[in-house]
Amino acid sequence: MDFLTSKRFITTALVFLVVLNVTLLGLLWWQGTHNPFQSSPASMREFNRHPSFTAQLGLTDAQALIFRNLRQEHFRKVAPEMEAITQLKKQLLDESLNTKPDVKKIAILAESIGSNQAAIERELALHFNALAQVCRPEQRYALKKVLERFATRRFFGRNERWENNPSPGRGACTTLPRSGEPR
């Protein structure tokens, strides 16, 4: 009798496949129920938005808790302004896409966006002051450096990358000569 057609081989292969399927189903179930961030509070801290913020400043646990509470309070305060800016930008976009946009309405919307943005910046300055009040004097310098890095990366990080490494095939911008200048 041929080995591949024997009952013993077919039975062994079926048992092996059933065990393999049950193992894989168990593994999938385990991955679905197991949350790696539930293991310890330290792993929850590492999952935070700015995990190195606490380490860079050398904050104590009490200071880190105050920082977190201040940040949550700040985001709650500026949320209405952010929502207003979002709505105004939608209106600005709608108006700018009209066949004959109303220039006065665009100017009013832009001014409104600017005043909301100014309110956010005022709140941000007060928030930074509140954070600095929590810090010891030696931590304030580190806080200043962290915030400066955050601010410059936020506004200039992408542009620096594009200006230093323009991609020739993907819309790299070149400066056109002014009228009267040689090309």
Residue 27 inside a domain? The answer is no
Residue 89 inside a domain? The answer is yes
Q: Give the CA-trace dihedral at 101, 104, 107, 108, to 10 degrees.
A: -120
pLDDT, tens digit, 9 for 90 and up, residues 25-41? 888 888 877 655 544 44
Our count of domains for the chain comes to 1
- Specify the pLDDT at position 172: 47
Cβ burial of 85 (10 Å; 0-12, 13-18, 19+) is buried
Task: Kindly list the distances between the CA atom of residue 28 and the CA atoms of 31, 44, 77, 180, in Å, as whole numbers in the listed order.
Answer: 5, 23, 42, 69
Residue percentage of the chain with pLDDT more than 70: 70
Higher pLDDT residue, 5 or 114? 114
Q: Which domain holds residue 92?
A: 57-152
- Specify the pLDDT at position 45: 41
The winner for highest mean pLDDT among 20-29, 58-67, 102-111 is 102-111
Higher pLDDT residue, 32 or 175? 32
Higher pLDDT residue, 169 or 47? 169
pTM: 0.55
Residue 44 inside a domain? The answer is no
Helix (H) or strand (E) holding 158: helix 137-164
Mean pLDDT, the chain, whole residue set: 77
Residue 175 inside a domain? The answer is no
**Residues 149-176: what's their mean pLDDT?**
54
Instruction: Count Cβ atoms below 10 Å from residue 138 Cβ, excluding itself.
Output: 9
Q: How far is CA 132 from the centre of its chain?
A: 23
Q: Which long-range contacts (CB under 8 A, 24 or more apart) does 120-125 make?
A: 120/78, 120/81, 120/82, 120/85, 123/74, 123/77, 123/78, 123/81, 124/74, 124/78
Residue 94 inside a domain? The answer is yes
pLDDT, tens digit, 9 for 90 and up, residues 46-101? 334 444 567 888 888 888 888 889 989 999 999 999 999 999 999 999 999 999 99
Instruction: Note whether 94 and 109 are within 8 A (CB).
Output: no
Q: What is the CATH number of the domain that holds 77?
A: 1.20.120.1490
- Specify the pLDDT at position 27: 86
Residue 62 inside a domain? The answer is yes
Residue 51 inside a domain? The answer is no
- Specify the pLDDT at position 35: 59
Residue 162 inside a domain? The answer is no
- Specify the pLDDT at position 29: 84
